[in-house]
Amino acid sequence: MKVEDLKTILSAHGLPVTGKKNELIERIATSIPEEEIIIPNYTLKYELTELGKDELSDNGYVPYMHRHTHVTTEDARFGTPFTVWKINELFPDGNAKDWRKVVGSVEKKLFGVDMASCEQDSKQKSKSKHEDLSAQKEEIRKYLSEKKSVISKGIQSTGDGFAEESKGLDYKSIGQDKKALVMFYIAIGKGFDAPALYSECAKILRKYGLLEEELSVLDAGIKNVDIGNRHRNELIARKKKVQELIEKESV
């Protein structure tokens, strides 16, 4: 898509149209529900029929599992397999209408987060939300302040931060940004060196206009990520951008 097309989408939802192309794309992805994005001059090649809708509703776990971030192979040597076939075995009679509850309970046991059930709730909320995200800035700050002891205790727990980063990504995927930030801050406090931890945390903070907090997270990332990691430069570039935004806000 061209920049003009991206700006048309943003403008239709009352969102800012300033920034480079990748920033416009990120703004659309984080602020507009997918089903509400109308691409200019785009004609659908296929149309979902009523029968197809029923099939997706009754057996929605199939596409859900295929796009799952934790999907595994059938090989059980490295842990419990989490595949569409294993989930399929949980519906011996073929009735999978309650698949979100079933899959959610498996996710809760394996990963600590019920994403299947919450995904639907998150989509329903995003459909009706057209609120000013920046207005939630202080609410997020208050929440993080209240969770300081939880974060501090988590940092002192065993592990290198991988488990917390993974859990944070799961929370982020279902729109539970507050819980995601708590997990990310614990992983950051442990000094975890994955660039994605800092970039994904930064995206949430930018979403709510928490620029100072984003800058601190990026500083931690630049410090903790190995200097030879090519993604470290992306954190440096993002830091430069957020510094520009902070300077612009102060004028």
pLDDT over threshold 90, residue 184: yes
For the chain, the average pLDDT equals: 89
pTM exceeding the 0.85 threshold for the entire prediction: no
d(CA 39, CA 34): 11
pLDDT over threshold 50, residue 9: yes
The reported pLDDT for the residue numbered 123 is 53
Q: DSSP character for 134?
A: G
- On whether the CB atoms of residues 199 and 221 are closer than 8 A, the answer is yes
The reported pLDDT for the residue numbered 121 is 61
At CB < 8 A and 24+ separation, what contacts does 193-196 make? 193/224, 193/225, 193/226, 193/229, 194/162, 194/165, 194/225, 195/221, 195/225, 195/229, 195/231, 195/232, 195/234, 195/235, 196/165, 196/169, 196/231
pLDDT over threshold 60, residue 175: yes
d(CA 151, CA 149): 5
